[in-house]
Amino acid sequence: MLVRNLDFLSIPKEFSKVEIDIYDNKSIALVYLENKGYSLILKNEGNIDSVFLLKTDILPNNVNDHSDREEFINVIKMLLNNIYSVSDIKEYEKQHQEYVFLRLMDMLNEGDEVEKINEENSQIYRDIERGFMKLELDVMDNKINALNSSI
């Protein structure tokens, strides 16, 4: 008999989302999936340009000494570079990636401007849910392939 526990696929029924304006109607939203990770969303005039899933156990209230912190900040830096690359903006007017990271985490931690999204009120919820399930399955496939190749 083969038994598999699919708890890893269960996604919280509600996500917390915060968003900050960056420059020229462009913003970055951060969606927190408890016990799963985060989704970073680059928006241009309210439309979604790109979505990144970050599987990590960083908590919004404890971000300082985590091994994934730098990689998380690098994804934000990439999004900021995308925003600023098409703009003629002075260097001192650009927001620093670590500031954006800390501000988003503080907003989640303090409950400021947190929007609760779920399947009924947000299309991005469904996209993130499917994306995280696919990510979990891909991680399992990679582990199985690695195990098979080592055998």
Q: For 112-144, what is each residue's pLDDT tens digit?
A: 789 888 888 878 877 777 777 777 777 778 888
Q: How far apart are CA 63 and CA 135, in angstroms?
A: 23
Domain ranges for the chain: 14-150
DSSP string for 69-97: HHHHHHHHHHHHHHHHHTS---GGGSPPH
Q: How far apart are CA 50 and CA 78, in angstroms?
A: 11
The pLDDT score that the predictor gives to residue 88 is 81
What is the length of the chain?
151
pTM above 0.85, yes or no: no
Contact between 35 and 134 under an 8 Å Cβ cutoff? The reply is no
Q: For 80-93, what is each residue's pLDDT tens digit?
A: 998 888 778 888 88
Token pair in block for residue 51? 């979505």
Q: For 5-61, what is each residue's pLDDT tens digit?
A: 555 556 668 888 999 999 888 999 999 988 888 989 999 888 888 888 888 888 888
Q: How far apart are CA 57 and CA 33, in angstroms?
A: 10
The pLDDT score that the predictor gives to residue 9 is 57
Q: How far apart are CA 66 and CA 146, in angstroms?
A: 26
